Structure formats: C-alpha cells, structure tokens
Chains A and B, each alone.
Chain A
Amino acid sequence: MAHRGKLVAQGVAVGLVALLFLLLVWTLVTEEGGDLAAAAARGERPEAPDFTLERLDRDGNLTLSSLRGKAVVLNAWASWCLPCKEEAPFLEQVWREERARGLVVVGLDAKDFRTDARRFVRRFDLTFPIVFDGPGDVAADRYGVTGFPETFVLDREGKVLEVFVGGITADEDRARLRAAVNRALAT
C-alpha cells in the first residue's frame, strides 16, 4: 500500500515537471515577436499577426485582416516617445500621398493613456486610423516590439516585407520606407 502511494507521488511529481517543461516550450514557440524582424530581414515574408483593437480616431474596432488587399504601414508608437513625434508628420505625408494607390497607415498606440494619444493625434493632425493597445499585448507580445517607435510594412496579403526599428527620421530611412511601400503596393 505504502509502495503504491510512493509510486503515485512520484508519478504526480514527474507529471508536474513535464507540465512545466511543456509550458516553457509553448511560451518559447508562441513568442514570435522578435522573429518577425529577423525573418523579414532574411526575405521570408512572415505572416503579420492579426488583431482586433479599439479605434482612437473614431468609435469601433479595427481588425488588421480586414485590410487584406491593401498594403499596410503598421506604426507602433506612444505619445511619450520622442522619435515618434519626429516621424509622425512623415507618416501622415506618406498616407496622404499613397492612400489612393491602396496604402493604409495604421497607428498602433501602446503603453499609453488614451487622452494623451488623442492629444498627440490632434497635435500632429494625423488622419490615418489609430488603434489602442494600452497593455501592449499586440505590440510587445505578438509583434515583439521592445522600444518605440517600430514600423512594419505589410504587403497586400498581410505578410511582413520590412521592419523599421526606431524612428524613421533620417533621409535614408525615409527612402527605405518609400521603397518598401512601393514593393508592398506592387504585390
């Protein structure tokens, strides 16, 4: 009887360890974030993780996959981030110039107050769609954003063509973004 109890206890302990190991493996496998930038740099065109988030520019939600068929510039930003302020007018310019060709710029405001984000939108006269990701679940966990800003260029099939880590403020970065947008629009 005592031997049986010992076996059961050992079985439970082994089961718990196996469960923890599986949890670790699952966490590592589902943590796709940082891989997006690396995969895009290798020319692999990984699928952009889908999301549905509350809009800040108007009522309702926006689902990324509803934009299939359009090229997307997904810009992760926060109102307290300095380079985000520097690049915002350029992103608005790109949106106004290229939207007729099928480009949508989406602002992904993360780790921020809604009121601050709306003030930022008014200050820079942003007219493209803005979604709110206060906890940063989409930006950090699904897209692997570790700092702001970070920008993802998606083709018309929702695949990541290019990732910009940091502000798009230098002339060469702006030229690179325009080239990526042209490639995305050509898909």
Chain B
Amino acid sequence: MRAHLVALVAFGVLAVGAQAASPPNAADLEAELVCPVCETTLDQSDAPVAQRMKAFIRERIAAGDTEQEIKDSLVAEFGSGVLATPPKSGFGLVAWLLPLGALTAGVLTVVLLVRRWSRRRGPPGPERPLDADLERRVDEELARFEG
C-alpha cells in the first residue's frame, strides 16, 4: 500500500515536471496575444505585423524560450496591450478584481433584500373576530343558500 502511494506521488511529480518542461504551443500563444494593428488575437489576424509576430513566436519556440519569455519579449516591443488578458499585477489587477467585487456586491444586495422582505412579511397575527352585524348577515346568507 505504501509502495503504491510513493509510486503515485512520484508519477504526479514527474507528470507536472514534464508539463512544465514541454515547449509552449504556438497556437495557444497566438490565441493569447493581440495584433497591435487590427487588435484581434493573432490567430484571427492576417495583418503583416501579425504574420511577423507569428513567425517570431515560432522562432523563439525553436530557440527554446518559455511561454513567459516569449510574451515578455513581445511586451518589450509592443507594450502590454499585446496581451489578450491584462497582467495580474499593477493596474491590470483591477480588471481581474472588479468582476469579483461586482459579484460580491450583487450577492450582498440579494441577501439584504431577501432578509428585508422576509422581515416585512413577519408571522401571521391573531384572527380578528367579525363584527356582530356582518356575522349575522353571513349567517342569513348561508341559511338562504342552504335552505
């Protein structure tokens, strides 16, 4: 049992290591980078500069660069606007945190509203007795209806 566990952990470590060491995929990178002229992702663009960037990505993959190194090189040339998703640091972090903040605010609003509505409705109060005149008329109507 212990040997199985050790083998499983070793397999997991090797699998993660192999994934980290595998070269970046050009198609994935082209979907994560933006053409600075037409402002669509590289995989959607045939603009001359986009074609040049695609060639650059392939050159750098062949040279052994990691995904992050390739992205950093392109940011150094074209600025951070070349990234399809904003960076998770500095001002770019706002773009990631804002939807989360909005979602939290929405959930809080719903919770507060539900609490308020349930409080307003409250438990049912004691039954009010009918006044004598109304009770007499109801009895008469019922008697007429049944008779």
Contacts and interface: CB of A to CB of B under 8 A. Distances in A.
Interface of A: 2, 78, 80-81, 111-114, 116, 134-137
The secondary-structure label for the interface of chain A is loop
A80 B48 contact: yes
B77 A114 contact: yes
Interface of B: 36-37, 48-49, 52, 56, 76-79, 81-82, 116
The 3 nearest A-B residue pairs measured at CB: A135-B79, A80-B48, A111-B36
B36 A113 contact: no
Nearest to B81: A135
Given A135-B36, A136-B36, A111 B81 contact: no
Given A135-B36, A136-B36, A111 B52 contact: no
B119 to A, nearest CB: 11
Contacts of A114: 77
B69 to A, nearest CB: 16
Interface of chain B: mostly helix, strand, loop or mixed: helix
Given A111-B36, A111-B37, A135-B36, A80 B77 contact: no
B79 A137 contact: yes
Greatest chain B CB density within 10 A among A112, A114, A135 is at A135
A187 B77 CA distance: 37
Contacts of B77: 112-114, 134
Contact of A135 (B48, B49, B56, B78): B78
Contacts of B76: 134
Nearest to A111: B36
A137 B78 CA distance: 10
Contacts of B36: 111, 135-136
B100 to A, nearest CB: 17
11 contacts: A2-B116, A80-B48, A80-B52, A81-B48, A111-B36, A111-B37, A112-B77, A113-B56, A134-B76, A135-B36, A135-B81
Given A111-B36, A111-B37, A113-B56, A134 B48 contact: no
A134 B49 contact: no
B118 to A, nearest CB: 15
